[in-house]
């Protein structure tokens, strides 16, 4: 059994919150630079500004966007890990320290009805998965409201098929337009049930921007959807162009014979997630 002190978890979560907000993922930046090569005029100019913004943020250790998001935390905890206290409290303490000491915008309200700010960006949204082994993996994913608000779930029926899935995904991207701050990473969750499909879509966003679905059908769908989304001419920040999405990630799961749940979780160009394995 490996014991992990809650103070270590808190300090790592604090560090990851600040790094996720300030330091752009190298592969995401590379993908935006590649997109610039196929754009011209205004769309090229917008991508150049996004790249400059991200490089300044990384170099000066300041947030790449004013919306530093609500903190989504994915935890994988092995059966040989013992934590000497509350895991959720340790994570929330880390989020609180990260957002206050890192001068990140506090974007969480205590109640969706009274709208009073909690002033330290807590509580985080925490998903815990139990695994085998002696490792604790923590992934921090700050999610801005611009792209999250444009995300959707729909309970299709099996007769809608691939065509229905594609239409729903493209309709979601079209309705979002510039409001989700494209170029996007489009997370698509297919299967499970209502809540499982949403979780699949969110987890799809955690994948590296250059990885491809192992499942052959999902892999084909990713490629086809990316091409079709990029032919919508929404473009960087919704002002036209070839690059509406940098990537489409499709995660699938078994579902009921009479169901076809589909969730689309949009991620803006500030595609932020950081991981630590303890």
Q: Please identify, among the stretches 6-14, 41-49, 123-131, 140-148, the one whose residues bind ligand SF4 according to the rule CB under 6 A.
A: 140-148
Our finding on whether 268 is near ligand SF4 (CB under 6 A) is yes
Residue 35 vs 136, nearer CB to ligand SF4: 35
Our finding on whether 32 is near ligand SF4 (CB under 6 A) is no
CB of 3 to ligand SF4, least distance (A): 37
CB of 44 to ligand SF4, least distance (A): 18
- CB-based contacts of 200: which residues, under 8 Å, 6+ apart? 188, 189, 190, 191, 192, 251, 252, 253, 263
Our finding on whether 54 is near ligand SF4 (CB under 6 A) is no
Q: Please identify, among the stretches 80-88, 130-138, 200-208, 264-272, the one whose residues bind ligand SF4 according to the rule CB under 6 A.
A: 264-272
63 backbone dihedrals φ, ψ, rounded to 5°: -60, 140
**191 near 252, Cβ under 8 Å?**
yes
Our finding on whether 147 is near ligand SF4 (CB under 6 A) is yes
- CB-based contacts of 51: which residues, under 8 Å, 6+ apart? 29, 32, 33, 36
For ligand SF4, the binding residue among 176, 181, 247, 248 (CB under 6 A) is 181
Our finding on whether 22 is near ligand SF4 (CB under 6 A) is no
CB of 180 to ligand SF4, least distance (A): 6
Residue 147 vs 265, nearer CB to ligand SF4: 147
Identify the H or E element spanning 89: helix 87-101
For ligand SF4, the binding residue among 94, 98, 102, 144 (CB under 6 A) is 144
Q: How many beta carbons lie within 10 A of that of residue 34, not counting itself?
A: 12
Strand order in the sheet with 152-156: 152-156, 260-267, 184-192, 245-255
Tokens of 256: 């009921």
CB of 242 to ligand SF4, least distance (A): 20
| Binding map of ligand SF4 across residues 62-91, x = CB under 6 A, - = no contact | ---x-x------------------------
- CB-based contacts of 184: which residues, under 8 Å, 6+ apart? 147, 173, 176, 244, 245, 246, 266, 267, 268, 269
Chain contacts with ligand SF4 (rule: CB under 6 A): 65, 67, 144, 146-147, 180-181, 268-270
């Amino acid at each position: 059994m490996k014991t992990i002190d809650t103070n270590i978890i808190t300090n790592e979560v604090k560090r990851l919150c600040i790094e996720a907000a300030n330091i752009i993922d190298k592969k995401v930046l590379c993908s935006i630079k590649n997109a610039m090569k196929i754009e011209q005029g205004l769309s090229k100019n917008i991508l150049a500004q996004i790249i400059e913004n991200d490089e300044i943020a990384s170099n000066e250790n300041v947030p790449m966007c004013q919306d530093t998001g609500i903190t989504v935390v994915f935890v994988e905890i092995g059966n040989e890990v013992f934590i000497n206290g509350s895991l959720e409290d340790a994570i929330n303490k880390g989020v609180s320290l990260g957002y206050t000491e890192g001068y990140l915008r506090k974007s969480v309200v205590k109640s969706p009805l009274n709208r009073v700010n909690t002033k330290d960006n807590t509580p985080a949204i925490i998903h815990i998965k139990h695994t085998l082994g002696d490792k604790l993996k923590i992934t921090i994913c700050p999610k801005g409201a611009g792209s999250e608000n444009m995300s959707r779930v729909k309970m299709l029926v099996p007769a809608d098929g691939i065509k229905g899935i594609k239409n729903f995904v493209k309709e979601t991207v079209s309705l979002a337009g510039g409001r989700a701050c494209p170029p996007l990473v489009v997370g698509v969750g297919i299967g499970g049930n209502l809540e499982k499909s949403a979780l699949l879509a969110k987890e799809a966003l955690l994948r590296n921007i250059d990885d491809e679905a192992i499942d052959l059908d999902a892999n084909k769908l990713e490629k086809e959807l990316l091409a079709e989304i990029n032919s919508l001419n929404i473009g960087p920040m919704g002002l036209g162009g070839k690059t509406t999405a940098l990537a489409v990630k499709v995660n699938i799961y078994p579902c009921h014979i009479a169901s076809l749940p589909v969730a689309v979780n949009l991620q803006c160009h500030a595609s932020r997630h950081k991981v630590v394995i303890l």
